[in-house]
């Protein structure tokens, strides 16, 4: 445009200067040209703004590496391809090949990720496993485990799928079997499973087991996580067991163990023997013909927490045979044919904050199943549990020094049973609306007997019997029943030689002055000075104050 302007002549450009008459017309004509140029340019700008639709991606032609004739097609095709690769990674090798060859940066990143994953995980599909629920994957799973073990240990990964096996799978030290999720990655025992070569101990062949359960050096650092182990139920012809023996640092987390055994074959879901530092957390045990989970034979330092055990034919969860230092906490055990949670011949066990209901026999039981006085249950605590709709809510059989405290039991046959046990403290429990007894102290064995137990500060109401002592061929001596709130039962107290203090048996008044205690005529009443079915003395020995439902209650006690 500059060449179109008219020059104004002067000394600076070597020409005789224009006169003013000559200058002004040139200046005016130049301004007119500038104005015309700006007007034209503005029109072009406005036209460009108004034509934005012409610049949409689908209207711009494109030629490049990505497939597509327009920019939009190239972008969309690239996006869709990447989405397919991400969604199908690990399941469709063609997609991965395309990614590596067609997209340099993405391919480099996939290669780098593969190198990192190879150091920490062995995908069973890379060893030939097929998760279709039909194929026998035993050899592929063994190969993946052996490859991980050959490098000192690692993770064997099961993508979502159902992986059939039919023979022994050994797990060495420092191995984790890792699934995508407990309901997504399933290891299923096929109907033609063969126990040949599997180690046999504790009642049957162990189809999935640590690889050195019987000889030292024993195994360590084994984990099962986010997997489901599925038996073959009615098609099972021999005992299939997922079991570990003599392992230090064993973790079973977010796994399910279902449908092992049938009416002809007794089979637990998971069994752990003689192991130290065991953690069983957030697992499920269901529809097994034996126990859901069994921890047995001198296991030490065990945590069983957050699990669900249901519809098993024996115990939901059981500890047995001299296990020590065990915490069973925050589990739910329901609808088991026999018992919810059991502690059999173990010491220093805490059973806390569990929910046990609709079990055929006991909600929670601490017992010595085999009457061997060498291994009584000692120093166990059963606290803050809720047990309902069982034959018996909580039972203590043939045990010593057991604390049963702050539990809630209701709608059971019996709320609590203390059987042939000594030096137990039953305190701060609530036992309501049982079909029979709120709390029953009973002896069958004269050599063991029931003695030196204390029932203290329990709330017992709405039962046929509130608190009852019963001699069923055994021996009952020297128990103390003190400071309990026992009311609105058909029979509040039926006791024998125990010392009764702080008896609270009235339904309506705040201050009790003349309660009634019934004594079981079959028991010796040498220390029951009130006599058989007799009123207590008019004057109590003293009073206790107990807060009940926000009210300070004055409770008399009588020195029996």
**Alpha carbons 435 and 114: distance in angstroms, whole number:** 63
Band (411; pLDDT cuts 50, 70, 90)? very high
Of 100-104, 339-343, 345-349, give the lowest mean pLDDT range.
100-104
Model pLDDT, residue 153: 93
- pLDDT of amino acid 251: 97
Pick the closest to residue 359 from 311, 427, 420 (CA basis): 311
Three-state secondary structure call for residue 126: helix
Q: What is the pLDDT averaged over residues 10-23?
A: 67
Q: Of 469, 463, 400, 399, which is closest to residue 429 (Cα–Cα)?
A: 463
User: Which single residue is written with the structure tokens 């042939």?
Assistant: 420
- How many Å separate Cα 305 from the centre of its chain? 6
Q: What is the pLDDT of residue 111?
A: 65
Q: Residue 376: which pLDDT band, with cuts at 50, 70 and 90? A: low
pLDDT over 60 at 373, yes or no: no
Res 228: pLDDT: 95
- Give the angle subtended at the CA of 231 by the CAs of 336 and 306, to the nearest 5°: 50
Backbone angles phi, psi at 38, to 5 degrees: -65, -40
Intra-chain end-to-end CA distance of the chain, in Å: 124
pLDDT of residue 48: 61
Q: Are 313 and 268 in contact (CB under 8 A)?
A: no
Task: Provide, rounded to the nearest whole percent, the portion of the chain with pLDDT above 90.
Answer: 41
DSSP state of 461: E
Q: Phi first, then psi: what are they for 366, rounded to 5°? A: -110, 115
Cα–Cα distance for residue pair 415/463, rounded to 1 Å: 9
pLDDT in tens, 154-184: 999 999 999 999 888 989 999 999 999 878 9
Q: Quick one: which H or E segment has residue 244?
A: strand 241-245
Most confident residue range from 1-5, 431-435, 535-539: 431-435
pLDDT for the residue 57: 63
Mean pLDDT, range 234-243, rounded to an integer: 72
Summarize the confidence of residues 499-526 as an average pLDDT: 39
- Pairwise pLDDT comparison (463 vs 27), residue with the higher score: 463
DSSP code string of 517-558? EEE-TTS--TT-TT-TTEEPPSS-SEEEEEEETTEEEEEEE-
Half-sphere exposure of 140 (CA within 13 A, CB side): 19
What is the CB neighbour count within 10 angstroms for residue 369? 14
CA distances from 191 to 134, 233, 271, 292 (A): 10, 9, 21, 21
Sequential DSSP letters for 317-361: EEEESS-EEEEEES-EEES-SSEEEEEES-EEEEEES-EEES-SS
Question: Residue 487: what pLDDT?
Answer: 84
Q: How confident is the model at residue 17 (pLDDT cuts 50, 70, 90)?
A: confident
- Please state, in angstroms and rounded to a whole number, the distance separating the CA atoms of residues 255 and 304: 13
Determine the length of the chain: 560
Three-state SS at 281: strand
- Checking if the pLDDT of 401 tops 80, the result is yes
Residue 90 has pLDDT above 70, yes or no: no
Predicted TM-score (pTM) of the model is 0.72
Select the more confidently predicted residue: 195 or 232.
232
Cα angle for residues 357, 363, 366 (degrees, 5° grid): 165
The per-residue pLDDT for 241 is: 75
**CA dihedral in degrees (78, 79, 85, 86; nearest 10)?**
150
Instruction: Kindly list the distances between the CA atom of residue 374 and the CA atoms of 261, 275, 299, 418, in Å, as whole numbers in the listed order.
Output: 33, 21, 17, 20
Asked whether the predicted pLDDT for residue 78 surpasses 80, the reply is: no
pLDDT tens for each residue of 45-63: 676 666 555 566 666 676 7
Distance CA 271, CA 37 (A): 92
**Better-predicted residue by pLDDT, 447 or 411:** 411
pLDDT score at 307: 97
Report the pLDDT averaged over residues 200-215: 72
109-144 tens-digit pLDDT: 666 665 555 455 899 999 999 999 999 999 999 999
The residues, ordered by sequence, that sit 6+ positions from 218 with a Cβ below 8 Å of its Cβ are 212, 246, 247, 248
- DSSP 8-state secondary structure symbol assigned to residue 9: P
pLDDT over 70 for what percent of the chain? 68
- Summarize the confidence of residues 464-470 as an average pLDDT: 89
Categorize the per-residue pLDDT at 67 as very low, low, confident or very high, splitting at 50, 70 and 90: confident
């Amino acid at each position: 445009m500059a060449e179109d302007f008219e020059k104004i002549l002067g000394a600076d450009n070597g020409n005789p200067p224009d006169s003013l008459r000559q200058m002004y017309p040139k200046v005016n004509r130049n301004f007119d040209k500038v104005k015309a140029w700006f007007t034209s340019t503005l029109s072009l700008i406005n036209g460009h703004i108004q034509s934005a639709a012409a610049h949409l991606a689908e209207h711009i032609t494109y030629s490049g590496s990505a497939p597509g004739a327009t920019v939009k097609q190239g972008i969309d095709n690239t996006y869709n391809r990447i989405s397919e690769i991400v969604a199908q990674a690990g399941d469709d090798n063609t997609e991965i090949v395309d990614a590596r060859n067609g997209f340099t940066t993405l391919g480099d990143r996939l290669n780098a990720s593969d190198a990192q994953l190879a150091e920490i995980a062995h995908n069973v599909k890379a060893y030939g496993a097929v998760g279709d629920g039909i194929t026998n994957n035993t050899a592929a799973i063994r190969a993946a485990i052996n490859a991980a073990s050959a490098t000192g240990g690692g993770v064997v990964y099961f993508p979502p799928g159902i992986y059939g096996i039919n023979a022994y799978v050994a797990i060495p030290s420092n191995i984790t079997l890792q699934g995508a999720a407990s309901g997504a990655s399933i290891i299923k025992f096929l109907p033609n499973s063969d126990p040949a070569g599997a180690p046999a101990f504790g009642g049957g062949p162990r189809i999935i087991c640590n690889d050195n359960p019987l000889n030292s050096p024993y195994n360590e650092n084994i984990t099962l996580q986010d997997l489901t182990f599925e038996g073959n139920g009615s098609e099972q012809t021999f005992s299939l067991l997922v079991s570990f023996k003599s392992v230090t640092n064993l973790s079973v987390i977010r796994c399910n163990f279902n449908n092992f055994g049938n009416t002809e074959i007794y089979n637990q879901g998971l069994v752990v023997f003689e192991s130290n530092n065991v953690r069983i957390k957030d697992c499920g045990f269901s529809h097994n013909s034996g126990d859901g989970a069994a921890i047995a034979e001198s296991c030490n330092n065990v945590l069983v927490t957050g699990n669900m055990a249901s519809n098993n034919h024996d115990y939901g969860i059981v500890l047995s045979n001299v296990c020590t230092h065990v915490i069973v906490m925050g589990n739910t055990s329901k609808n088991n044919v026999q018992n919810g949670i059991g502690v059999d011949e173990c010491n220093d066990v805490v059973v806390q904050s569990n929910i046990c209901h609709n079990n055929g026999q006991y909600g929670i039981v601490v017992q010595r199943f085999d009457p061997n006085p060498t291994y009584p249950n000692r120093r166990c605590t059963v606290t803050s549990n809720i047990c309902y709709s069982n034959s018996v809510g909580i039972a203590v059989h043939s045990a010593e020094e057991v604390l049963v405290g702050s539990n809630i039991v209701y709608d059971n046959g019996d709320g609590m049973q203390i059987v042939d046990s000594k030096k137990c403290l039953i305190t701060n429990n609530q036992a309501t609306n049982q079909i029979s007894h709120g709390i029953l102290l009973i002896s069958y064995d004269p050599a063991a007997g029931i003695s030196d137990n204390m029932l203290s500060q329990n709330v017992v109401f709405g039962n046929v019997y509130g608190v009852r002592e019963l001699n069923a061929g055994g021996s009952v001596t020297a128990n103390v029943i003190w400071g309990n709130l026992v009311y609105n039962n058909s029979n509040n107290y039926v006791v024998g030689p125990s010392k009764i203090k702080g008896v609270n048996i009235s339904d309506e008044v705040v201050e009790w002055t003349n309660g009634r205690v019934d004594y079981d005529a079959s028991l010796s009443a040498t220390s029951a000075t009130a006599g058989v079915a007799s009123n207590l003395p008019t004057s109590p020995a003293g009073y206790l104050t107990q807060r009940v439902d926000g009210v300070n209650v004055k409770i008399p006690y009588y020195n029996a």
